[in-house]
Structure 1
């Protein structure tokens, strides 16, 4: 086997392991030059698309933390967009977590700001009415028709003709002030769900929440912490994420600080992987 053919097969294998796509599709992408051994999963070309995917990733890692992982079983990532397949049992929770909702009393916002649902010729799409980013749902998912959970939070609305709530607009303005490297890193994470799912029981936080770097500095707005119970192998998962191209510096973005075990970085954005011990877990 030639070196070129071997690299194509290796790129296809890495793509399949990260995305869940059939191997023959990944191999065709490698032959067409869409993926490579150094970057085996296609990136989103549009900054608006990367930002939307990053916000979706951040919400899902946090909202699906109770053993459900991301709720995604496979993705079809292309430079122009992203398609996702949802776990049939978890899809109601995915939709409930993603749809933006506001606390009438405090004005606090949960979910993905600006996200709405739109039916197009090729199926259902999650759309950002502020920037134009979109994610296609690859299979028929009846969960979106179900009533959303009721509570103190009020859902903004599902349809693309519903304008932004003031709380959504404020959150989007705040997000726009964040680092571009964060959008690259979290968009890439969403495009590698099978690797994230390997953590088994996932707990995710952002914006600090009492955590700090090894140098004593608090986690910042570009950081995401992924934790899981039991010894699932932090080093092994980190190695698989790095081999998938998660930390490869894209155009215009510099690399992260010198590698630290358990920290994957692009410039000033980080994904932190760590094991926690839960006293109620018999396996810990």
Structure 2
């Protein structure tokens, strides 16, 4: 049917634009009803997978600030190949080692507490590297443009204990405690679940998120204490255009099991909300050192 064909093609276009997955692959997914025009990027099917991806986003948003980002890869990834059972991410070569250093769990005695994603472990997997969890079946595969790439992995020392090295097959008590904190009950737990959905979806849409960093190669990213991601940028894509593209990719489509929250119906100038969770998109005046000179050059002589 013509309408069905148009919808499948549009779903494939949205999927490819958001993830960097080849259009023909996305079109095949649409033909198999793995994606739709409403939800053109596959969601992670399990809570464990979504939690892992969400925790990765939080660590990278706070740790990989704009001074370290390259090529608009705000979380260090240039493309994604998402499926319901896992996720393959393409590493930006300039930040690949830094990404692993931020994600792998460690005890930091200098600044206190656990850093990184609790329970995350790194294992080679054919031509990829795999980030797995000690408990559960979550997995995120990492691909580097150099097939011979070997990561420069962080080591013990200077007040750091690399738990992923010392506790290969079991959780450290600090990791268990951090994970237990996320499994409460009540409204806060519900919002945390919704935030995992949103954050996981952000990780699966690197090409769209990269629009915020396209002009300068970077953007300011950070999170609030409950995991809400904030993305701030100055030049390039307009805020409303980025929100429309993210919404078209299914970012804020409410999944089964996530209740509508009054916050979802409120009109915010800088938020995309779903199930009481949200991501903040904020565009500001350019503050880069060369901004004034560039503006003067465009204006020409007086």
TM-score range, shorter chain: 0.7 to 0.9
Alpha-carbon offset, residue 232 of structure 1: 3.6
Gaps of 5+ in 1: 209-220
Q: 2:241 aligns with which of 225, 236, 240?
A: 236
The equivalent of 2:295 in structure 1 is none
Q: CA deviation at 1:148?
A: 5.0
Residues 1:186 and 2:199 are matched in the alignment? yes
Following superposition, the deviation at residue 273 of structure 1 comes to 0.6
CA contact (8 A) 1:116 1:159 kept: no
Secondary structure at the aligned position of 1:198 is classed as: helix
Paired residue for 1:45? Answer: 45
Which of 101, 117, 124 pairs up with 1:119?
A: 124
3-state SS of paired residue (2:100): helix
Aligned to 2:229: 224
Give the helix-richer structure, 1 or 2.
2
- Contact map agreement 1:76 1:82 (CA 8 A) in 2: yes
Question: Is contact 1:116–1:160 with CA below 8 Å preserved after alignment?
Answer: no
Match in the other structure for 2:15 = 15
Offset, 1:279:
4.2
Normalising by structure 2, report the TM-score.
0.82
Retained in 2: the 8 A contact 1:95–1:143? Answer: no
Q: Secondary structure at the match of 2:182?
A: helix
Please say if residues 104 and 121 of structure 2, whose CA atoms lie closer than 8 Å, have aligned partners that are also in contact. Answer: yes
Tell me, in whole angstroms, the C-alpha distance in 2 between the residues paired with 1:268 and 1:192.
Answer: 21
> For 1:71-220, what aligned pairs fall within 5 Å after superposition?
71-104=76-109, 107-120=112-125, 123-139=128-144, 140=147, 142-147=149-154, 151-158=158-165, 161-177=168-184, 178=189, 179-200=192-213, 201-207=218-224
Aligned equivalents of 2:5, 2:167: Cα separation in 1 = 45
Is 63-72 or 187-196 further displaced after alignment? Answer: 63-72
Q: C-alpha offsets along residues 211-251 of structure 1, whole Å, 9 cap, x if unaligned?
A: xxxxxxxxxx1422111234641111111111100000111
Report how far residue 22 of structure 1 moved: 0.5
* Bigger radius of gyration: 2
Q: Distance in 2 between matches of 1:16 and 1:160?
A: 38
Cα distance between partner residues in 2 of 1:159 and 1:188: 31
Gaps of 5+ in 2: 293-302
Alignment check: 8 A CA contact 1:96 1:148 kept: no
Give 1:214's aligned residue: none
Report how far residue 44 of structure 1 moved: 0.7
Equivalent position SS for 1:21:
coil
Kept after mapping to 2: 8 A contact 1:182/1:223: yes
Distance 1:146 1:129 in 2: 19
| 1:249 match: secondary structure | coil
* Paired residues, number: 272
